[in-house]
Structure 1
Amino acid sequence: MSGPVPMVVGLTIIWVLLWGSVSPTIVVGGVLAAVLVVTVFPFPTAPWTFVIRPWPTLVLAARFFWDLARASVEVSWFALRPAGPPPSAILRVGLRTRSELVMTITSELVCLVPGSLLVELEPEEGAIYLHVMDAHTPERVAAFHQSVLDQEERVVKAFAPREERDAVCSQEVAP
């Protein structure tokens, strides 16, 4: 399937799910609404190329869930401890990739972990700006910066084409 057909099918399914029941009227209404949306708001074709490597994807998922659990405990401790909240900071992280897909996946995985929030993504600069909740020492900031670069590397190893993977994994970026 190519073109707008997958988008129409997907939007129709969402429409039916939102209505909570299936009837010919709801399905036809969903198809008409989806065709209208796809016609009025055409989506640009994305020039993204990616592959899925099973082992690096498993490593990426396992590390993401570990980070999620660890950060949830840390954020819970910050909320419950008697001291006030730790100082926070806005941090610019220069990514090594220029692929918008890889930058987006990296940003989303970083921000889904409690304790950080995406402020801005600059694909032209290859940088993301993040709000970091725990920035009470330069070492914590440096560790967070490195964790973002490590996450980027895991995403690249899991999804980037071979040429990009080799180029990104051989680079070093200073904070």
Structure 2
Amino acid sequence: MSADERGERAVGEAATGAAEAPERRTPVQRVVGRLPTVVWLTLMWVILWGDPSPGTVVAGAGVATACYAAAKLPHLPVRLRFRPLHVLLLVGHIVWDMFASSVRVSVHALWRPERMRGVIVEVPMRTDSDLLLALVTGGLSLITGSLVIELNREEGVLYVHGTPIESERSVRQLRRQVRRTEKLFVWAFGTAADIEEFEREDRLEAEREALGAAAASRGADEGEERR
């Protein structure tokens, strides 16, 4: 074996060893890495109890910490950004949807009970981030009259049950509500890569819709000419 070959082999072994070496993190880094998961579990605890009192928050934090320690969950890197203006827009959107949907459901339940019909709407998602999809799912579940039934991760499709649904127009409104909520979550918490991927998928979908509309228009024109 030549000297050059021995040198290349040594470099390769060093690189392999460095790649296989486990990442060493300080206790502070471990706590910081687990903090987002604990905060998220605590938030879900408070939402499920419907009581944002200090006692509920402390109890939720204790339960979340105990569950995290007992399950020995691996460290997952959380890549989020916080954009205050977009977060305010997101909060305002969800609060308004909660109020408007509560009024709408109440009116139908009291005065139009025969129209309290629901449907399951299939909505393709444009973001590919697991964390953002989880946030979108949680945000939609807070709104009265909408409930996430399933998230098909492989196909990137969200199935949402909506009520009351009176017509095809109501279905389109529910779908627009889901898409708008997704967009606001991505702009509020997504990284630059998440936003870039979201906009790319948005452009591709717009192009597909434009091509479909053009094909339908050509088909209608050809039908008129044949007549």
**TM-score w.r.t. structure 1 length?**
0.76
- In structure 2, the residue corresponding to 1:2 is in which secondary structure? helix
More helix by share: 2
Return the match for 1:134 from 164, 172, 175: 164
Unaligned runs of 5+ in 1: 21-29
- Please say if residues 102 and 156 of structure 1, whose CA atoms lie closer than 8 Å, have aligned partners that are also in contact: yes
User: Which residue pairs with 2:121 in the alignment?
Assistant: 91
Structure 2 counterpart of 1:92, which letter? E
Say if 2:152 is the partner of 1:122. Answer: yes
- Whether 2:33 is the aligned partner of 1:3: answer no
Rounded Cα–Cα distance in structure 2 between residues aligned with 1:91 and 1:83? 21
CA distance in 1, matches of 2:69, 2:80: 27
Partner in structure 2 of residue 72 of structure 1: 102
Instruction: Please give the per-residue CA displacement for 1:48-105, whole angstroms capped at 9, x wherever unaligned.
Output: 3110001000110111111111111011111111441432111111100110111111
User: 2: CA distance between counterparts of 1:163 and 1:64?
Assistant: 25
2:109·2:116 contact (CA, 8 Å) conserved in 1? Answer: no
Aligned residue pair count: 157
Q: Identical aligned pairs, as a percentage?
A: 26
Q: Give the TM-score normalised by the residue count of structure 2.
A: 0.60
Structure 2 vs 1, CA of residues 93 and 56 (structure 1 numbering), >3 Å: closer, same or farther?
A: same
Q: Structure 2 unaligned runs (5+)? A: 1-27, 46-54, 210-227
The higher radius of gyration belongs to 2
Deviation readout 1:93-145 (Å, 9 max, x if unpaired): 11001101111111111111000111111222212111111222111101110
CA RMSD of aligned residues (A): 3.0
Give matches, 1:6-21, under 5 Å.
none
**Other-structure match for 1:25:** none
CA contact (8 A) 1:75 1:114 kept: yes
**Which SS does the other structure have where 1:78 is aligned?**
helix
> How many angstroms apart in 1 are the aligned matches of 2:145 and 2:158?
16
Of 139, 144, 152 in structure 1, the residue corresponding to residue 174 of structure 2 is 144
